[in-house]
Amino acid sequence: MSRRRKREPAARRSRAPEQGAGAGRRSRAPEQGVEQGPGAGVEKGGESVVLNVVVNGFWGVRDEGPQVIAERWYATLARLGELDGGTFHGWHEAGDGVPADPLLMPSVPALADYVVRENTGPDLEVVGYGASLWAHNSGAPKVTSAIRVGGSSPYLTNSVLVTFRSRTVGEDADVIRRTPEILAAIGEAWDIDGGQVYDRALYRAVADHFGLKNSDPRCGRAVFLSERRAALAPEGLPGAYTPAAHGGLIIDLTYGGTQTPSAETVIDVNTQLRATGALEPLATPFDRAKL
């Protein structure tokens, strides 16, 4: 059921998608970019992170409450478990990132309750709901599933993330090779406008080259394009083209995890997609979820 949209104060209009929404929340979904700040590539204790990969999806305005959000989130987690049960199980609620954080067995009622518990601030129907879960299993990277969704604000981007971080597991892990499939799962569950797979260095290279904001569409190792974006995608890009849910398209520059595209290749693909309008940002204030 739609709710009446409230006009946002001017101070909110320039925020990145997940910044500062709801002062009363205990958890906050990360931004569309990789972790910010000088310590972004360092874990606690000062050790370098070997693996830092993100799969994200975003869309414009779509007013949804905790029940619908929980249904979409459960569909995402269930599909992740099918793709790699060794990585995606033993989910913990957000806390200190330690095994003592409460476990949550995913189900629609449990996730709906969790979303409500994690969001206690004002104007939730406007700014949306943020929550995250994490899991860290033997031989697997630490994975986080985070959401910032459901708001009616025409100035705040809705987004979902699945992140992978490890000091010991590398890029050759099977779950990392399958990140384009994870992108497809996010696209199906959340009916996203766009999304990508990227690592920290690649994200910064593309952002710096084009002068992009966190919320701007772009291509990483793989890109998800919603139906109208997909119709604008040129043929012949150096990647595997795979139809996705809701009329979308995934272009996988890793060819199923068998290749690692260079930053130069990814920047060239972004140039071509931008030239056709396939990566055009949604106009603000948003009046729709997708291009």
Query: Considering the chain, what percentage of its residues have pLDDT values greater than 90?
Result: 80
pLDDT at residue number 20? 30
Residue-wise pLDDT for 151-169, tens only, equals 999 999 999 999 999 999 9
pLDDT of residue 40: 40
* CA angle (248, 251, 252) in 5-degree steps: 135
pLDDT tens per residue, range 63-94: 999 999 999 999 999 999 999 999 999 999 99
pLDDT for residue 138? 95
Q: Supply 265's token pair.
A: 């290749």
pTM of the model: 0.84
What is the pLDDT confidence band of residue 121, given thresholds at 50, 70 and 90? confident
**What percent of the chain clears pLDDT 70, i.e. is strictly above it?**
83
Joined together, the tokens standing for residue 81 give: 């478990």
Which residues have a Cβ under 8 Å from the Cβ of 156 and sit 6 or more positions away? 8, 12, 15, 17, 21, 127, 128
pLDDT of residue 1: 38
Q: Report pLDDT for 47.
A: 52
Note the helical H segments in the chain.
66-83, 108-118, 124-127, 174-177, 179-190, 200-210, 227-232, 263-276
**In the predicted structure, residue 39 carries a pLDDT above the cut 50:** no
Mean pLDDT of all residues in 256-274:
96
Element (H, E) at 58: strand 51-59
Q: Do 69 and 108 contact (CB within 8 A), yes or no?
A: no
Q: How far does Cα 223 stand from its chain's mean position?
A: 12
Confidence of residue 50 (pLDDT cuts 50, 70, 90): confident
Q: Identify the residue whose tokens are 């996203």.
A: 192
Q: Per-residue pLDDT for 37 more than 50?
A: no
For 4-36, write each residue's pLDDT tens digit: 333 333 333 333 333 333 333 343 444 343 333
pLDDT of residue 144: 98
For the segment 239-250, the average pLDDT, to the nearest whole number, is 98
Q: In what order do the strands lie in the sheet with 158-166?
A: 92-93, 129-135, 142-149, 158-166, 51-59, 194-199, 222-225, 249-252, 240-243
H or E stretch including 149? strand 142-149
| Least confident stretch, 95-104, 109-118, 179-188, 241-250 | 95-104
Average pLDDT of the chain? 87
